[in-house]
Structure 1
Amino acid sequence: MTDRKLLKKLLLSCALTSAMATAYAQQAPAPENPELKIYRAVPTKVNDLIHTKLDVRFDYKKRYLYGKEWVTLKPHFYPTDSLRLDAKGMDLKSVAVVKNGKNIPLKFKYDDSLSVAIKLDKVYQNNENYTIYIDYTAKPNELKVKGSAAINDAKGLYFINPDGTEKDKPVQIWTQGETESSSCWFPTIDKPSQKTTEEITMTVPAKYVTLSNGKLVSQKTNADGTRTDTWKQELPHSPYLFMMAVGDFKIYKDKWKDKEVSYYLEPKYAPYAKDIFGFTPEVIDFYSKTLGVDYPWVKYSQIVVRDYVSGAMENTSATLHGDYVQATKRELLDAYFSSGQSTIVHELFHQWFGDYVTAESWSNLTVNESFANFSETIWAEHKYGKDAGDDHNYTDMQSYLRSPGANTKNLVRFYYADKEEVFDAVTYQKGGRILNMLRNYLGNAAFYKGLNIYLKTNAFKNGEAQQLRLAFEEASGQDLNWFFNQWYYGAGHPILNISYKWDEATKTETVYLKQTQDGQTFKLPMAIDVYQGGKKVRYKAWMNNKVDSVSYQLAGKPDLVNVDADKILLTKKTDNKTIDEFSFQYFNAPNYLDRYEAIEAAASDQTRKEAQKILIAALKDKYYGLRIKAIKALNLTKDDIRNPAQPILASLAQTDDNTLVRAAALSALGKLKASGNMNLFTQSLSSQSYAVQGAALNAIALLDPAKAMSLAKGLEKDNRGALTSAIMNLYTANGNDAEWPYVYQHFIDAGIQEKFNNLRGFADMTAKVNKPEYAQQGIGQLKEAGIRFKVYGAAPFVVTQLEAIKAARTAMKDDASAKVADEAIKAVNDAK
């Protein structure tokens, strides 16, 4: 899944991190959970799913699914006369075995509305199939289930605006199966180790379209205004990958080779279908060729839905996306390799790693999610260049390193309190980085040969990390136990300190390597590049001990010794180079991180001429991400920086081919508060880029807030992304009752991350608006956010804001609003 996978898509905004960290620090440490001591074995297979046939219809008013199921199974190995199916919160009207076309009732016991134990009509052997018929009603909205930080709900089946009472929101039905929520809408053995073929017949209002796994094989129009669609998935896959979607979607049909590739979007976004998803066939082709296994399913569809409970989901042949991927052409101008694009390629790679070969258990989720994360890097590298891939890879590593407690968790995790916990920065970001290290160590040819062996050996079956190791060993001829033991079955990462010493007498350069982390010593192969006399020589080295060193005899003192020259190690690193060495590294070493590290070093001490030289040069770096980094690093209060930088920034703001660079340059110039730049800022408001417009409006606000407020009024009709944020920041800081309707509506409509970003400003405005009804509207939204985002740790911060609002309203003698704020504080604190 994304990103849920997104997990990384749902990280708290930087604006709130410090405040929330303070709130966390004040909480008592949680007691040790005894469930963490339970070994999570792969569930024993008593029966195997073979085929699942469903006939469903929907009650929009009651939010019910009426289902009939014919599920075919066989004993896995040992004879059995019993069957247990997962079935959460259903009414089970009848359970029967199908014999010669007749349903013979069976005895069953429904345990706690979670699973049903069925007594079969006889003892079946493992060469005998049997079919069970179940007539049932699924009631997802009546289920008492909890989600997680990655997937914030787990009721499996979702009715969106079913009564049509919510303005501007479509009526939709969709499903979400991962981890084990498919059993909320049909009885099954809801484990990833099961595989089954599938047939789903849906009867829906005729005005709607449907989507499911596999191929649409028939459509029948009924006399009552409904239509019956039948979808068949003829290759086996796991129950959590089953999906349905129903609604008013426009379908754009594309293709890869002879297979249909389609995009399902809300009608208003249909004109942008090709802009959003049009690169999908190119990605399918790249992955197919890279893996040596052609895309395995009959079609590939992508559908965008409202109110999705995660980032996206890789349902077999039918990926479901949250609506954040929908965008207009103007929004896409600022996207580049955005979260939406990275999610699209992430979910597509799952069609091989996750769907074609599925993790045997949630403990081995790495063979699904680490690969999907890794795929984002290799696509960025392929499509946009190595710098883009390295940027994405490094950003993911930093996400892992900053994730609290991540260094204590194994990648393959047999101990956890809840399976949902495995969807974290270790499985995603760390796992993807580990695969990239292995690719570097083995080389592309051996690495991708290993993936090919793994996929072909385990096709339409299940895999785990040990099978992955064996495939890489078969491909490379190397023993890789050392790699898997430390990276897959161990926790943490090396904390590496690197220092250097030149001995002029012996002409010897010594590199001192020290791992300072607690616990295990990591075995680290690395490349070391030595630059001396206008030449670069590469050496291979291994760090086998916590304290190690390597020495090189050279003709003279080197200009640079570049440890981990490929910048591939997953490590928290302190590299004790001089600023002169970092300067040489910026101008001579080839990789993104070589230049990134030099810019970092230069930013920390801008009094040095070499540091200034790096930063000014980096304003014209070939990679846009480093141009932006250099712009943000500039200390423009220093004449030695501002004087050479200002004309370059003005040029970048007007002519750079990347809108985000132009926006960053405008932001930097805006902080100078130089009236001579006003024309540039106002001209930039006419840009098609929302990022450029937003930066320009912010810059104008710093010079002339009243003018910015006036200009913002003209931008209210068409604003998204950075421009919306700029207007929100401007209004919450300088506005009052006249601006409240805009601020309030945009806060309601905002996505999760945008809400996080706007919480503080929205709270500040709620505290100061004149009308009590406006204040109470804001308090209501903050209460809702505090409850909804409690799982992300936002509640303490929201409570702090509500307490400030209570005090402000009391001072304004608005006792009614103060009382509402007090009630909101209690509601957030009491929420589960």
Structure 2
Amino acid sequence: MSQIKGFLKKFLLMFFLIFSMIPISIAEEQSVDEFISQMKNALEQKNIPAYLDCFSSKIRKIEEELINTIFDVSEMDSVAVFKAYKKTETQDDATLSVKILFQNSYSVLIEAWRLALEKMDGRWQVTEKKVTGSINNLYRLKIPSERVERVRLIEIKHVDIKITFEDAIIFYDNIPAHETALLILGKGHLFFSPSSPLEKHQLELIYKKNILQDRLKYAYLRFSDSFFKDNIKIIREDDKENLVTQADKNRAYSLFVKYYSRSFTVKNSLNGGLLSFLPEGNRALFEFEGRKIGELTYIFSPFAEEEVSLYQWKKERVINLYTPSVDKNEKRLFISFGQKFDVSNYQIDIAFNPEKFYFSGKAKVELESKIDSLSALKFKLHPDLEILRITDEDKNELFYTKDDFRKTLYIYFLHPPSRNKKASIEIFYRGKIEPPELTADVISLAQYEVTYKRSRIDKSFLYSQSSYWYPVPPGEDYFTARVKIIVPPEYSVISSGKLIEQSELKGLEKVEEIEKTGFSVNVFETKKPVKYLSFIVGKFKKIKETSAPLPLELFCTSNVDSKNNDIFEQIKDILEFYESRFGPYPFEKLSIVRRVWSYSGGHSPPSFIVLNELPRFPEEIRLIRRSSPVDLSHWKEYFLAHEIAHQWWGQGVAWDSYHDHWISEGLAQFSAVLYLREKYGERAFSNILKKFSRWIEKKSEWGPITMGSRISYFDFEAYQSIIYNKTSLVLNMLKDFLGEDLFFKGIREFFMLNRYSAASTDDFYQTIIETSGRDLKPFFKNWFESYHLPEVKVSKTVEKRAEGFLLNLKITQQKELFVFPLWIEWMENGNKVKKKLIIDRKVKDFSFELRTKPDKIKVNPDHAVPGKFFK
């Protein structure tokens, strides 16, 4: 026994002696995570020797020069390492990607590194470092900085605006060698006079003066270095003491905090801090508060289609938007940069909890570069959505920034795609979004005031273009999509595109997903391009459907009066009517959702329509009818006809800018009126024309048709009267002027040429002129681009002739020349006679030889031409 014990002691002693001879580096194998932590700690502590120990001897000297350049030459004084992750790993090799944030008091440098690792003696070392992306044009702007002075005068003079401050304190920004921001306190004065007559008219409507003058309390300015040199003059007094109190500094700081995030700033996704970029060229922004006018923002964007804008914060509206007039000898340079990228397809998977308004999911975006090097992407996304990560097609995690104020997301490629190169990204996100009350694409038409209400409204949740529930491309980009929406089993989903798959969630493996067992999975596919994606969730019942020639579906909430069974036939009748005039229906199917809602009207996203119906109240409820310029609900098909028309106008063809908004709402209104005329006859049509004319004559001064949605900021009834009703009358006049065959030939051609794209007013002009072969520029100019209406004197005489009577008419336009068809009506032998006159000159004479004396002569009997007609 003692021999055995002696043997064991010798064995154990020999074992420990041998083990102690093994190098510690082999005994303690380093993991990749431990290496990341080692490098991160060394770099963040600026322990350069320890950091360089992470690199192989072959590249250590090169890395030492690079890192010293960043700290010494670029003067970065701190660093943070973010989002390290392993891309590939074997026993002796690994690849890492990390993001590095270098910064000092005024600037940042963000780099993405790809590191190739090899294991040497049990420890990982970097054998190759590649900078796959960098951003070095972002700054940490601050006011007040050390630079502050009191001056006798500062004058900011630019285009149509002049701002002056006397005895002013100027707080400069902290960016060395660049002038990019000022905050001014003192006795200020504003003078603003738009060089555009139409914009002067807008000021006069709002402020009763065509110029703005006011005393200012302060101003916050952002601009480029060249703008500062060319447009800002400072007069100093050498003998004046530079007295600036702490109270002045505190006020400057509070104003800076208020305004900083509004312009030229983004939120850094690495640490959530705000970063600023420098305005380029002559871009400039002035924020100021007047004693009478309140808070306004003046923005100048050179080379934009409209360079100057003036925005009022209190009422959240654009006051002016225009390009300043230039001297006759000057030529204005307008550069259209076009789309930087084109989205071709979305693949979206989301889970939606209606009770909490909660989204979670991912969006894969497939796109194509339209420029030589696409370094960044820009999308609209709701600011309440938290981004979990964004990856490229190689699963590299991408850096991004957010402008929450403008609901904008910027994504930066590690490898910028070249022109015509296809790429894709995936965005993982979650968050709570309450469905907006109103949608951007159609007007909610509140036709009633409810004084007392007990009726139950079934919950439904509509998410459309203005919700930004997925990353929305800038502009009117058309794309195809596949959308998977998961909702609780008691809810139904209707979305853009055809429902191609419906199932139930089963067999979930993750504990946190068990509660979703039994949830409804709905997959929709759009093969015809759409300009945005929408969906509605609710407790809907499918009432009826057909599959040919166009798949149609009708859904209702439980409290909708489902006895109106003829609505399905109405839908088919309206579709057939529109196809005969505008061309084929542009999408795969049409779903109609009827719901009881607090206001009437509807919304028409691609391939489905939501119709709001007012509650049917018991006896104790009282409804009060309200007047509305666009209310044609006396004819029950109106809302349905208007919303179906949007599948052509607004969806099949989009509008390019706010000037062209009539292409959606005006053409939809015109289409609905066409259908009502077909359905109910000339008497109904005459009543509609008269109503439209009354409202147009009442509201026309608020702007021309091409002022578009801007009119709604000032007078909503004016917006409806002009964009909906005036457009409808003008198109009806154009139809009468050209004749139905030529007119609808032009309309069909316009639709086909611009289908699945955004069209402009000029596109419409050109198409109608080319298809008709007529010079229509005088017609378009005053009817679309002027807020004036015709003022017409009508003189008429009836002469007795040997063989009957001669009716003489003299049409004299008192002011601007308008081109229009004018209908004349009279009774002859008990029969109504109607003639069309073409008015294309300031003075025009007409004569009609009649067998019997005309009676009850009426000029413009249906008020088809809005304006003043007098004897």
TM-score normalized with structure 2 length: 0.54
**Change beyond 3 A, Cα 1:267–1:393:** same
- Could you give the per-residue CA deviations for residues 697-731 of structure 1, whole angstroms, max 9, x where no partner exists? xxxxxxxxxxxxxxxxxxxxxxxxxxxxxxxxxxx
SS, match of residue 705 in structure 2: coil
| 1:232 pairs with 2:525 | yes
Of 427, 430, 434, 2:726 maps to 430
State the distance in 1 between where 2:350 and 2:423 align.
22
| 1:571 pairs with 2:869 | no
SS, match of residue 372 in structure 1: helix
Of 284, 287, 290, 2:581 maps to 290
State the distance in 2 between where 1:118 and 1:39 align.
31
**Change beyond 3 A, Cα 1:499–1:259:** same
1:303 aligns with: 593
| 1:251 pairs with 2:546 | no
**Change beyond 3 A, Cα 1:51–1:423:** farther
State the distance in 2 between where 1:407 and 1:324 align.
33
State the distance in 2 between where 1:265 and 1:287 align.
24
| 1:74 pairs with 2:368 | yes
- Could you give the per-residue CA deviations for residues 343-398 of structure 1, whole angstroms, max 9, x where no partner exists? 10111111112211111222201111111101122111222223223322332332
- Map 1:527-676 → 2, pairs under 5 A: 527-528=823-824, 541-546=837-842, 549-551=845-847, 558-564=854-860, 567=862, 569-574=864-869
1:348 aligns with: 644
SS, match of residue 647 in structure 2: coil
Matching residue's letter, 1:116: L
Give how far 1:429 is off.
0.6
Contact 1:85 1:189 in 2 (8 A): yes
| 1:171 pairs with 2:459 | yes
Matching residue's letter, 2:502: Q
Matching residue's letter, 2:546: K
State the distance in 1 between where 2:461 and 2:655 align.
28
**Change beyond 3 A, Cα 1:319–1:46:** same
- Map 1:741-752 → 2, pairs under 5 A: none
Give how far 1:140 is off.
2.6
**Change beyond 3 A, Cα 1:466–1:326:** farther
2:705 aligns with: 411
Contact 1:67 1:138 in 2 (8 A): no
State the distance in 2 between where 1:254 and 1:286 align.
20
- Map 1:49-64 → 2, pairs under 5 A: 49-64=343-358
Contact 1:107 1:119 in 2 (8 A): yes
State the distance in 2 between where 1:282 and 1:243 align.
25
| 1:121 pairs with 2:408 | no
Give how far 1:409 is off.
1.2
Give how far 1:91 is off.
3.4
Contact 1:97 1:130 in 2 (8 A): no
1:641 aligns with: none
State the distance in 2 between where 1:535 and 1:339 align.
29
- Map 1:456-475 → 2, pairs under 5 A: 456-475=752-771
1:199 aligns with: 482
State the distance in 2 between where 1:300 and 1:427 align.
26
Please tell me whether Structure 1 or Structure 2 has the larger radius of gyration of its CA atoms. 2
**Change beyond 3 A, Cα 1:379–1:145:** closer
Give how far 1:69 is off.
1.0
State the distance in 1 between where 2:864 and 2:833 align.
20
State the distance in 1 between where 2:590 and 2:438 align.
31
State the distance in 2 between where 1:143 and 1:313 align.
12
Matching residue's letter, 1:173: F
Matching residue's letter, 1:462: A
TM-score normalized with structure 1 length: 0.56
Give how far 1:312 is off.
1.0
SS, match of residue 262 in structure 1: strand
State the distance in 2 between where 1:54 and 1:456 align.
29
State the distance in 1 between where 2:561 and 2:848 align.
62
Contact 1:509 1:553 in 2 (8 A): yes
Give how far 1:572 is off.
3.1
Contact 1:252 1:270 in 2 (8 A): no
- Map 1:818-829 → 2, pairs under 5 A: none
2:401 aligns with: 109
Of 366, 383, 389, 1:89 maps to 383
Cα RMSD over matched residues?
A: 4.0
Contact 2:598 2:615 in 1 (8 A): no
**Change beyond 3 A, Cα 1:379–1:123:** same
Higher relative contact order (CA 8 A, sep 6+): 1
1:511 aligns with: 809
Contact 2:653 2:751 in 1 (8 A): yes
Give how far 1:61 is off.
4.7
SS, match of residue 124 in structure 1: coil
State the distance in 1 between where 2:478 and 2:209 align.
38
Contact 1:337 1:380 in 2 (8 A): no
**Change beyond 3 A, Cα 1:443–1:428:** same
State the distance in 1 between where 2:554 and 2:813 align.
49
Identify the structure with the greater helix proportion.
1
Give how far 1:78 is off.
4.5
Matching residue's letter, 1:196: F
Give how far 1:450 is off.
1.0
1:189 aligns with: 473
- Map 1:791-802 → 2, pairs under 5 A: none
SS, match of residue 614 in structure 2: helix
- Could you give the per-residue CA deviations for residues 314-338 of structure 1, whole angstroms, max 9, x where no partner exists? 111111121239899xxxxx99963
Give how far 1:564 is off.
4.2
State the distance in 2 between where 1:190 and 1:290 align.
32
**Change beyond 3 A, Cα 1:261–1:43:** farther
| 1:526 pairs with 2:822 | yes
State the distance in 2 between where 1:414 and 1:77 align.
31
- Could you give the per-residue CA deviations for residues 141-179 of structure 1, whole angstroms, max 9, x where no partner exists? 4999999994599xxxxxxxxxxxx983323222242xx
State the distance in 2 between where 1:338 and 1:83 align.
48
Of 589, 609, 614, 1:319 maps to 609
Percent identity, aligned pairs only, is: 21
**Change beyond 3 A, Cα 1:418–1:375:** closer
- Could you give the per-residue CA deviations for residues 791-830 of structure 1, whole angstroms, max 9, x where no partner exists? xxxxxxxxxxxxxxxxxxxxxxxxxxxxxxxxxxxxxxxx
- Map 1:712-727 → 2, pairs under 5 A: none
State the distance in 1 between where 2:632 and 2:713 align.
34
State the distance in 2 between where 1:60 and 1:342 align.
31
Contact 1:87 1:188 in 2 (8 A): yes
1:65 aligns with: 359
Matching residue's letter, 2:461: I
SS, match of residue 188 in structure 1: coil
State the distance in 2 between where 1:423 and 1:414 align.
8
Contact 1:95 1:132 in 2 (8 A): no
State the distance in 2 between where 1:207 and 1:384 align.
41
Give how far 1:550 is off.
3.9
**Change beyond 3 A, Cα 1:147–1:195:** closer
Identify the structure with the greater strand proportion.
2
**Change beyond 3 A, Cα 1:527–1:399:** closer
- Could you give the per-residue CA deviations for residues 531-569 of structure 1, whole angstroms, max 9, x where no partner exists? 66788887664444555544556677543544347x464
Q: Which ranges of structure 1 fall in alignment gaps of 5 or more residues?
A: 1-26, 154-165, 329-333, 577-832
**Change beyond 3 A, Cα 1:469–1:141:** same
Give how far 1:440 is off.
1.1
Contact 1:276 1:327 in 2 (8 A): no
